Amino acid sequence: MKSPYFKEEHHLFRETVHDFFAKEVMPHVSEWEDNRRVPKDIWKKMGDMGYLGLCHKEEYGGMDADIWYSVIFLEELAKTNGGFSSNVSVHIYMATNHIAKAGSEQLKQKYLVPSIAGEMVAALAVSEPGAGSDVSAIRTNARREGDNFIVNGQKLWITNGTYCDFYTTAVKTENGITLMVIDGNAEGVTRNKLNKMGLHSSDTAEVYFDNVKVPVSNVIGEEGRGFHYIMDSFQLERLVIGMSSIGANEQTLEQTLQYMAERETFGRAINKYQVLRHTIAQLASEVEQNKQFVYHTCWLHEQGEYVVKECSMIKLLSAELNKKVVDECLQMFGGYGYVEDFPICRAYRDVRVGTIAGGTSQIMREIISKIVVDGIEHKRAYNPSDAQNIQGNNTSIVAKEIIKSLADRFRPEKAADYATTIHYDISGENGGQYTIKIANGACQVEEGLQGEAKCIINVADKLYEALETGKADAQAAFMNGEIKVSDVGEMMNFTKVFKRLS
């Protein structure tokens, strides 16, 4: 079929990828599922084929190919096995992506180059026991000591976590959430494999950091901007999930159609029963619809568009559709669908995590509603805009007056026993440095930075005015790097005890 996206070279690439997986992966899937991991030699084979560097620059061993090569690779990858697909997609498009985008030349040479070659396996360590979709709630901390950080904390649900060579890790430093590379064999790193419901061939772990020494040079990008890098990269992660869903859904439908053509009841193949035919027709229509939406969004991404809305929609729709397709197709297999010998049974276990990982369906709906209902716009974190250039921010009250009004807007009935000290460092002619102290049911605002703060907030005066008057969105400001907060959780507790500006 003709396509506005794929050229002849893309089709040839698909044949090569399909043949590679048929030879190197498919004969071993059951063994990998039983062993709960894939062998490291498969990574080197993929590296030799250039697959691990499809989206990375040639100077680091990558192919720097257009997005359609990644689409093809991820579709074919998803047809092999859910766990294996998860391992590889995290390695290429998540863990190494941050190093490729914001890492120093030293980090790229030490970690990105061997990862593209398949000589190293990477993991992304962001989630924690109390911080899944809410990245700002992470508690793993890094204390600066000379030329090193000392890292302590715990990570959970980490793909490739047991046998990876390094972690792209989110930690909290004194400047806020920061990304850094932590070697898997570093002293103080402990890993425990998790016993999951599905994705059995995917190595998933909880990871502990106990006074792990990490060189300052291992920081990815700018210290304190990790939250924004993560938010930005969520778009590619969710688009990757959409690409993978295409292959997974098409594979499930193909296996189901083959079974329906062979399975007979009452003297005829079950693909002749109208009720079953119509179920397949509906599923096939929704799969095709989702595929075209994913393709269009890939095209927008390739054109340089920052497609937060579309990627969030794709994550929501693709994950929910994966569940629906597998569930309704398994019904066609009857009792056989409940037996591990049939791939549909394995697929049923594997897809369940789809509406949880990478942002829950509930979170996706909230992100979409903020964009569609509230009109929130998002900008790239890797190219933050100047906070001084906020349009339409003509307010009659300036930042220094707003900050001083906090004492009058304080709600002691909401504070109860809450006590804190917050430092505001507001740049611009209407800004200044202020200390807000809450204790014993009272709020005090002082000029200058007094005492030790639980949270430090750096923001431009115009942006602060826009945030307080409802003309800018705080979440968008965080994602765009326009406001820096050393402890997001403390700031959220702080804001709850004040009335909004009238």
**Which residue type occupies 498?**
F
**Which residue type occupies 484?**
K
Place of tokens 């399975």: 263
* Tally of CA atoms within 13 A in the half-sphere of 24 that contains its CB: 20
What is the per-residue pLDDT across 142-199, written as a single tens digit (0 to 9) for each?
A: 999 999 999 999 999 999 999 999 999 999 998 889 999 999 999 999 999 999 999 9
Whether 479 shows a pLDDT value over 80: the answer reads no
- The per-residue pLDDT for 396 is 62
- Closest Cα partner for 302 from 228, 230, 236? 236
| 418: Cβ contacts below 8 Å, ≥ 6 apart | 438, 493, 497
Q: How does DSSP assign 167-193, residue by residue? A: EEEEEEETTEEEEEEEETTSTTEEEEE
- The per-residue pLDDT for 385 is 38
Catalytic residue numbers, as ranges = 237
Q: Which CA distances in Å does 464 have to 376, 390, 495?
A: 17, 10, 13
**Edge-first strand listing for the sheet containing 455-460:** 442-447, 432-439, 420-427, 455-460, 483-485
Q: Which residues pair with 433 in a beta bridge?
A: 425
> What's phi and psi for 182, nearest 5 deg?
-120, 125
Domains in the chain, CATH or no CATH each: 8-122 (1.10.540.10), 123-227 (2.40.110.10), 228-372 (1.20.140.10), 387-495 (3.30.1050.10)
- The per-residue pLDDT for 476 is 66
- The per-residue pLDDT for 382 is 58
Positive or negative, the CA dihedral 398, 473, 225, 116 is negative
Q: Are 260 and 270 spatial neighbours (Cβ–Cβ below 8 Å)?
A: yes
Torsion on CA atoms 275, 78, 20, 233, rounded to nearest 10: 150
> What's phi and psi for 388, nearest 5 deg?
-75, -15
What is the rounded CA–CA span in Å between residue 483 and residue 485?
7
Place of tokens 């056989």: 336
SS3 state at 202:
coil
What is the per-residue pLDDT across 36-65, written as a single tens digit (0 to 9) for each?
A: 999 999 999 999 999 999 999 999 999 999
What is the rounded CA–CA span in Å between residue 230 and residue 237?
10
